[in-house]
Amino acid sequence: MDIRAYIAPLIKWWWLILASTLIAGGASYVATSQQQATYRAVSTVVAGQIINDPNPNGNELYLGQQLARSYADTAKRASVRQATMDAIGLTWLPPYEVVVLPDSLLIEIHVTDANPNRAIVVANELANQLILRSPSNLQQEEQERQLFINQQLDDLQVDISETKAEIEAKQNELGELFSARQIAETQNLIGVLEAKLTSLQANFAALLDNTQQGATNTLSLYESAESAFEITSNQLITVLASAAIGFVLGASAAYLLEFLDDTVKTPTDIEQLTNLPTLATIGRSKVTYNSDTIEAIKHPRSPVSESFRVLRTSIQFSGIDSDNKTILITSPNPGEGKSTTAGNLGVVMAQARFNVLIVDADLRRATQHKRFGLSSARGLTNLLLELDSDNSAQDVDALLAESIQPTTEDKLYLLTSGPIPPNPSELLGSARMKTLLELLADRYDYVVIDSSPVLAVTDAVVLGAQVDSVVIVAAANKTRRAHLKRTVNKLQEVNANIIGLSLNLIAAADAGSYSYYSYGRVYGADSLPSSGTRSEESAETGGRRWFGRKPKPAGD
């Protein structure tokens, strides 16, 4: 398991992750900065009288807690809300919460509002309306009756205290008596007083049951809302939390995009998919994919030009043990850089003092004549129509000389496509095409053939069976894996010799450890030794002949 494979999407999509983080954090900061200050007022009511009882029992406490929860639910009802609005003359109420404190009889009413005074008034009125709906809220007649009962209780309490004092005095007096008659009279009097005390206590208990004293199902104000305090929102934590959410969303989007993206990106992807080597990786350039420009000519010292030299060297090494003179350059789909690769490869091979011919065999969308600024009036299609078995060697040489054009680069020649035919596949797959390739291979060190994309038409597959080697061009982050796999399979079906792939449009971040980028920047491409360079004499001799006009001297 390579941890770098999991980190790679974060590095590739860093701008997306950074943007989502900044947007989320910035939006949160703006939103929190524009929020109005809010205030909270709290009023408290208590259920029952147990809180004042020094010896409450568990049953009463449990019943009081149940009542507190019931009253808390009542405070949220529409009837209480409407009564509160009517009482204070509002058409709406600010948001409020009714909270029963854990394991307690206390009910807190929290009112939140931008106006602190209104929060205080609403909190107190809600508590008042809640109390009005409890049994402790008595009508006028009931209140008068309670006052009378309370007065009677006070009187009975005085009588009970006096009777107890008399009984205690008689009991003390009984200890000092010696006469039997006096003792009997005193004992009878104590009995009478005790009977009176019992009667008074019974009356007191009966009256007490008709009062609110000690009642459980009551509600009273415990603490009114005297002031409101400002609710301070922790802006920093809110912004950081929003930024963290933005980061997670951005990272998730990066992994999702990578999961949905089935294009090849690195040489490792290509090797794992096709079991073929990557001959070179070609970076991005402002002029590389301009159909009217050749990078190796316009910027010979650039890292991209040096990449094409790496491709040239890789092709040379792949043909050490076999003849590797006719090289087909193709790609899965249009727009992946196969014509650009063919043109630049021909240039860097010629710069290494090889006699090189570029053949524009893309008879659908020919572009090589535009890149080198030559005419396409006569070219490959004319040769295929005019070549036959009856041509003498002199006729063949004349036809080649008439069709092949020199370029501004020494030792580099171009055979343009010529007029576009109605049957390109039949022409390219004909015996004449095979004969022509043999003639060209005998006269040039390398023949670089630019063909049509494999998946678009069958031209490249037909040519792949006739050439010495095939180089497939793929574009990083553009060529789909399935398309590249189908391209390799189609060429392998005709036993084409695929020597490897060239990965184009690779970004510097994806290039990883491909050191020729920095190497070329430091030393300059032209100062690097050209692998496989031969002397001009050996390139022009050795049993081979070149055809066409003499190339123009350098600088002409």
**The pair of three-digit structure tokens given for residue 163, joined into one six-digit string:** 């009777």
Contact 304, 285 (CB under 8 A): yes
Q: Number of helices (H) and strands (E), helices first, in the chain?
A: 22, 13
Cβ partners under 8 Å of residue 245, min gap 6: 24
Segments in the chain below pLDDT 50: 138-140, 214, 288, 290, 509, 511-556
pLDDT for the residue 498: 94
pLDDT of residue 404: 93
Structure tokens of 68?
């507190």
Query: How far, CA to CA in Å, does 209 sit from each of 54, 142, 216?
Result: 19, 14, 12
* Per-residue model confidence (pLDDT) at position 516: 40
Give 463-491 pLDDT, tens digit per residue.
999 999 999 999 998 999 999 999 999 99
Per-residue confidence (pLDDT) for residue 339, from 0 to 100: 92
Tallying the residues shown for the chain, one arrives at 556
In the prediction, which pLDDT does 554 show? 32
pLDDT for 538 equals: 33
* CA quadruple 261, 264, 266, 270: dihedral sign: positive
Given this model, what pLDDT does residue 416 score?
94
Task: Tell me the pTM.
Answer: 0.57
pLDDT at residue number 315: 92
Residue type present at position 319: G
**What dihedral do alpha carbons 166, 172, 174, 177 form, nearest 10°?**
-130
CB 345 within 8 A of CB 382: no
Q: Which residue has the tokens 């249009």?
A: 334
Q: Minimal CA–CA distance to 341: which of 333, 330, 355? A: 330
Q: Three-class SS string for 192-222?
A: HHHHHHHHHHHHHHHHHCCCCCCCCCCEEEE
Extended strands (E) in 114-227 = 219-223
CATH entry, 277-524, from 3.40.50.720, 3.40.50.300, 3.40.50.12140, 2.160.10.10? 3.40.50.300
- Cα separation, 119 vs 362, whole angstroms: 82
